[in-house]
Amino acid sequence: MKTINHCNSLDAKPKAHARISTLQAGFSLTELMIAIAIGLLITTTLIALFVKVNRTNDEMAKTNSQIENGRFTIQLLQDDISHAGFWGSFVPQFDDLTLPAIPPNAVAPADVPTDPLTNPCLAYSTPWTANDITNLIGIPVQVYGDTPPSGTGCVTNLATNKKANTDVLVVRHVELCVPGAGNCEADTAGKLYFQSSLCEDEISSTVRGVTATTITLDTFSSTTNDFYKGLTIRILSGPGAGQTRLISAYDGSTKIATLAPAPALPWATPMPDLTSKYTFGFGYLLGTTGFNLFHKRDCTTVAEKRKFISNIYYVRDYATTVGDGIPTLMLSQFDLAGGTLAHQAAVPLIEGVEGFKVELGIDSISDSGNNIITNAANSYTAAITWADTKNLTSPTNRGDGVPDGAFVKCTDAVPCTADQLANTVAVKLYVLARADKITAGYTDNKTYALGSTTLGPYNDGYKRHVFSTTVRLNNISARRETPP
């Protein structure tokens, strides 16, 4: 019988285990160094990618902000300018193609010798004369070059910290809604409102008294002394019809207007009498009181009134702190504050607006080819004449609503005239928007054309872009469109 040696079989297992143990081993030093190098390479690549993506996002944010500011500026200005010259139902008589007489409210030189046009910073308490108001209504868009208007009628001194070589834009109209309706603010005592009349008796008033050199106006007339000074009064009907005279003085308590001395003449024969009707070409009221005097076409219902809007836009060379270097579009609005009617303190609108230029499209040629500005015989201030008197087409001394020739830039050296401003039917806007932060490694050595003006190179690290648009003044150009 064979004997099995269990001890030998047991001894074999530890030996096999020993052989297996001697075969195990970790990473060598070379392998570990290679792994670390690959890890560092991957990490470096990820960091570089992160930095690049982050830098790209920053540049995209700058560009988006720049584009947003530029487009928003254009849109804001365009919306306001498109409403310029909106006076509710009122049409200035030099734009009224149904008026056969000389338009008595054509734009005229203002009573301020230093400014042939009405200064938007002229204090309302001065007071505004009839000529001033005529110009405010007849010139809905006004542009200043590098030197802005000044006066106590503007709370903010527009020249202080104004960015050099930028324009100042004034836009005038009335509110699109009546007080208390929709989003319009409630009727507020002391604020400036505009009201026009559709009642024929109020548009053409009746003479209440007359001498050789005076005329007593209707009871509807202003109680402010010299309110009608500088205006031309025209007798529309009755004795003296067709006669026009210049007013040199006006007594608000007696309503007596005095005719200007030579070279103006006293009333000719036949003189006006108490059956004669006259007009100043008003048919509207711009003031703070007296709004129960003007009525709708039925001459019984009081006409609606609208808030007077006058906005001044300009560029300041800082945003919040003097010296911060962020050019900013500013807005000063005409309103009532502290009991005073004036252009209130300017408020910042949009940062990054570095360049601002405005050019005007002038409607100077009638559709019959006459220049209504340079040709005195065909002036828009004269009674309208028609090429076809039977069908009343093609007025020879009125514009056709289309800008003629190159757009005009108003400068300090060559300011725009009253004739040009009264016949402006389109506006070109140019805005140079600047990024809010510097781009590392970038130098702006470009030049930028803003119409007839070239800006730059700035040679700094800010990126810039020009935005532009042309805005049609619908309320003015549409009045002048006639059949060919």
User: For 446-480, what is each residue's pLDDT tens digit?
Assistant: 999 999 999 999 999 999 999 999 999 999 999 88
476's tokens: 């003015």
Residue 375 pLDDT class (50, 70, 90 cuts): confident
Query: Which residues form the domain of 289?
Result: 62-197+283-480
CA distance 273 to 279: 14
CA distance 242 to 232: 12
- What pLDDT does 93 receive? 79
57's tokens: 């996002």
Sign for the pseudo-dihedral over CA of 377, 379, 381, 384: positive
Residue 7 pLDDT class (50, 70, 90 cuts): very low
- What is the per-residue pLDDT across 97-139, written as a single tens digit (0 to 9) for each? 877 777 766 776 544 444 557 899 999 988 888 778 888 999 9
Looking at the domain assignment, is residue 67 inside a domain? yes
Alpha helices in 22-153 (DSSP H): 29-81, 130-138
Looking at the domain assignment, is residue 322 inside a domain? yes
Looking at the domain assignment, is residue 44 inside a domain? no
Looking at the domain assignment, is residue 144 inside a domain? yes
> Per the confidence metrics, is the pTM higher than 0.85?
no
The values of phi and psi at residue 401, to 5°, are 90, 0
Looking at the domain assignment, is residue 14 inside a domain? no
- What pLDDT does 274 receive? 94
- What is the per-residue pLDDT across 406-428, written as a single tens digit (0 to 9) for each? 999 999 999 998 889 999 999 99
Domain count, the chain: 1
Looking at the domain assignment, is residue 159 inside a domain? yes
Looking at the domain assignment, is residue 461 inside a domain? yes
